[in-house]
Structure 1
Amino acid sequence: MPAIYHNNNDQGSRLPTLFLDLDGTNRVKDAGESIGKKVVEEENSQLLTLFEKGLKKDTIYYSACDSETIYEKINQLQSMQTYFRLGINLPSYESELLEQLFRREVSIILASDRVESEWCSHFQRSQEFLVYVDPWFQPRLIERYQSIHDDSEDECEQELKLNEEKARLTLSDAEVRVFEKILEGKSNRKIAEECFLAVATVNNHVSHLTRKMEANDRTHTIKRAIEEGWVHIL
């Protein structure tokens, strides 16, 4: 599946780009320098001073970040009256962040857990376009679009009811609680808030229960649970 992007006479290639990097490696720096860009690493506390100095064309700025503080940093950066592209380098298992990232007009999203050569290839392509989304995240975007479309067509809301007794034959108590929240349509971050858990813990529970169900993703897990008779549509 090709990447989602649009070409606007390669206007993206010279714009200053600021990457928030959840990867924790030097990939952004090494890849930027390999295509002849000036690359500047900034501490989180120094990000806003970049705008006081003025962002430069043909320059990539990057700063380490994590999923707990990313929204706050994005809001701070986008409050600045300067035109730049904002990129996010995040692991594919953090795809729950996508919807909120797009609401904040992020221009580039790369999957940091790709092998080095593939990641560098997508990084280079992202520099040629104003908007670029790594193909790994496309199924999640399509799933979300279809969900919104289906919801708009439904005249009545359907409720999914979990048979906890059957579910506990395969899942742990914690996984059952998380799965119930998934059936309610909650994101991993929302589940973490409601269950007083760390997002990383919820991510692990979702990963484990998906694997136990021999499913590919959250949607497939629900489908498998319905097939196994764990879930009934009310």
Structure 2
Amino acid sequence: METQSTNKEEDTEIQNFSDENYEPNTEDVDMSENKPGNENEGENYNEARTVDEVIKRKRKPNRRKWKMQENKAKRQKVKDYTGVRKNEEGKWIADKERAARILKPACNCKLSAQNTKLKCRMFSENDRNSIFEHFWKRMSWSEKRTFIHTLVDVVPTKDNKNQVHEVSHKANTLVYHLKKDDMRLRVCRTMLLHTLSIGSWSLQNWSKSVRIPEQTLNIPERKSGRFEKDRVELKTFFESLPKMESHYCRASSKKLY
């Protein structure tokens, strides 16, 4: 009898399965979905999914930065690069093609030709090209600034044409150098700019942080020696004039008129 009842139940399940309008009872549904452990697993899955999405968002590549870094490296290594500019809306865009820096011609200053303080003529084209290559291909931007600091000196101006108690508008001046065989030789400003292939703004801006030597500002005395003879003659003339005491208070006055 037990085998017959079992067969009947199996036949009923098969019929119900084949029936399109069959609706299972709640008793037939597996209640394993309502177990307390499954809710925690679902929450953990959602949390893990959220974390993965956040990580993916943080790792989103910024192709614009790639382009900026590439142009920065090209500019630093003396190659053609794309410069940046501001558009009409005030935003920076990279669309300005710039040529690579090249070694500019040497100066033609008269003081160097006379072989005075400036030693521009002592640098050959090979010397200048070696300095140029070392400056642009082997140095970072911070090293370039430091290199400029070693080539520029700040000294007080010698000729102060203003009055004694006034401070000159140009209290200090810049003295430029280039190195040859580990020696600093003084050169003109044009020679330094053309050898390093930098602009006046870069040189002026990078030289601002050069330390000014702690020296007392020596204001030259007035050059009055040439009038000393005239001053003596005038004093002699006034002393030769007849004098008399003041008639208002002769008893107390020591002045002569």
Larger Rg: 2
Is TM more than 0.5 here? no
Structure scoring higher RCO (CA < 8 A, sep ≥ 6) equals: 1
